[in-house]
Amino acid sequence: MSTSRHSTIAHGLYSYQIGGSERVGADLAIEMKQQGHEVVCFAFYDHAGPIREELESTGIACVDLDYTARRRPVRRITYPVEFFRFLLQYSVSGLVVHHATALILCGWAAWAARVRRVVMVEHGLHQLRDRADYRRRARRYCRFADAIVGVDHTIVDYFRTEMGVPDRRLSYIPNAVHLSQASSTVRSDVRGRLGIEPEEFVFLFVGRLQPEKDIPTLLAAYQLVANHASDARHPGRLEPSPAARAGVRLLIAGDGPLRDSLQAQAARLGLTASLDFLGARRDVPELLQAADAFVMTSITEGQPMALVEAMAAGLPCIGTQVGGIPGLLEDGAGIVVPARDPAATAAEMMRLAGDLSLRTSLAHRAREKVASGHSLSQSTRQYLQLLEFAG
């Protein structure tokens, strides 16, 4: 551990809700705590949620620094002062925050409090690309980060070429997970609780229900798959595959602003009998074991944590040709489809459902890839090196 008089590592999450960057931040905090480092956590845009409960259950202190709960318009002035006091109170030597917006909120305070090392982790580029005002502010505040981490090479390249960050302050650290062993008992129990028949083929999506995930395309693709399965169960109409005869189901795990509209779309498409909106879940590892394939139809991504988790669980995966998804699924680790293309997505979903050998091959290669390049212990060591804490 560091010999500095400051000894605490602070982790600033975006929120305490279930999400990709939140999962990355929480896993890093817990891993560092287990390695003997002093750790404190907070969320910039939240004060309570399942991630906070998980962190506190491991003995990590969580502090209320929810920017949105502070009084307008003075919070732009009072929040940095409050954050400065927090850093001094907890003797913070290393600060890890997620998304460039965090530097706008805490950069000045971290500099004033003489935090030895500030690391910002960027998980996606859509806001930086789409909002010129945000991009300009983020570019100014990048100077407060001693190191900027991109979870995908495209993010690192963007910060080099578009944000003007020098190479010496840029690092690529992929999202990482613990590998787990599949359990037939867990699979059976979860499917039983969800009312899934043993022979049903289950597609799973995990993520926030927001525009970037393009769930409408997933629903449109699934309608084609479900209709095909329905037709195949009627003799003489199509040659049935084993998966088609058994039936299909789609599970959508996650919550967000589009949930009501997506449920309405599912009803219009006649999918309610074989589609379940599960809401935000704390049992994602168990859901992954209950599923047969993972599908992600995002229109923009960095390196999606949910996809890495699905690969680690040994699920065959389908993802779109955006951001870091192709890099994850290349070399036989998954199937890549064009974004906003329900027909192409449905075709690959049906191909997966009908081809056991393909599923087995993709799942094996996916686990191999995660094991070799997405180890949580290795990732934690890299972050500790950036923070200048002994691993």
Q: What is the CATH number of the domain that holds 207?
A: 3.40.50.2000
Q: CB-based burial of residue 308 (10 Å sphere; 0-12 exposed, 13-18 middle, 19+ buried)?
A: buried
Residues 132 and 235 in one domain: no
Asked if the structure places residue 1 within a domain, the reply is no
| 258/300 same-domain check | yes
pLDDT of residue 230: 66
- Does residue 245 lie within any of the structural domains? yes
Q: Are residues 169 and 285 in the same domain?
A: no
Long-range pairs for 180-183: beta carbons < 8 A, 24 or more residues apart: 180/285, 180/312, 180/313, 182/289, 182/313, 182/314, 183/289
Do 225 and 117 reside in the same domain of the chain?
A: no
308 and 202 co-located in one domain: yes
Mean pLDDT of all residues in 147-166? 97
Of residues 4 and 210, the one with the higher pLDDT is: 210
Per the structure block, which two tokens stand in for 319?
A: 């993802």
Tell whether 342 and 197 lie within a shared domain.
yes
Q: Are residues 64 and 32 in contact, defined by beta-carbon separation less than 8 angstroms?
A: no
The answer to whether residues 211 and 291 belong to one domain is yes
pLDDT at 245 over 50: no
DSSP for 258-323, written as a single string: THHHHHHHHHHTT-TTTEEEEES-S-HHHHHHH-SEEEE--SS-SS-HHHHHHHHTT--EEEESST
**Among 21, 133, 38, which Cα is nearest to 94's?**
38
On average, the pLDDT of the chain sits at 93
- Asked whether residue 227 carries a pLDDT value surpassing 70, the answer given is yes
131 and 201 fall within a common domain: no
pLDDT of residue 233: 52
Mean pLDDT of 144-172: 97
Among residues 93, 72, 70, 94, which one has the least CA distance to residue 82? 70
264 Cβ neighbours under 8 A, 6+ residues apart: none
Please write the tens of the pLDDT for every residue from 328-364.
999 999 999 999 999 999 999 999 999 999 999 999 9
Please check whether residues 140 and 211 belong to one and the same domain. no
Do 251 and 353 reside in the same domain of the chain? yes
Q: Indicate whether 172 and 257 sit together in one domain.
A: no
As a whole number, mean pLDDT of residues 363-390 equals 93
Q: Domain span at residue 66? A: 8-176+375-387
Q: Please report which residue ranges of the chain form alpha helices under DSSP H.
A: 20-34, 50-57, 75-89, 101-112, 126-130, 132-141, 153-161, 184-193, 215-232, 242-246, 259-268, 284-290, 305-312, 325-329, 342-353, 356-373, 376-387
Read off the pLDDT band of 228 (50, 70, 90): confident
Q: How far apart are CA 28 and CA 34, in angstroms?
A: 10
359 shares a domain with 214: yes
Q: Compute the distance between CA of residue 310 and CA of residue 64 in angstroms, rounded to an integer.
A: 32
Residue 2: pLDDT above 50? no
DSSP symbols for 145-166: -SEEEESSHHHHHHHHHTS---
In the chain, the number of structural domains is 2
Confidence of residue 63 (pLDDT cuts 50, 70, 90): very high
Structure tokens at 334: 């998954």
Q: What is the pLDDT of residue 348?
A: 98
Under DSSP, the state recorded for 143 is: G
Would you say residue 64 lies in a domain? yes
Q: Is residue 336, in this structure, part of any structural domain at all?
A: yes
Crossing angle between the packed helical segments 356-373 and 342-353, to the nearest 10 degrees: 100
For residues 354 and 321, is the Cβ–Cβ distance under 8 A? no
Name the nearest CA neighbour of 251 among 199, 196, 315.
196
* Domain presence at residue 238: yes
Tell me if 3 is assigned to some domain. Answer: no
Q: What is the pTM of this model?
A: 0.86
Within-domain flag for 2: no
The pLDDT score that the predictor gives to residue 246 is 61
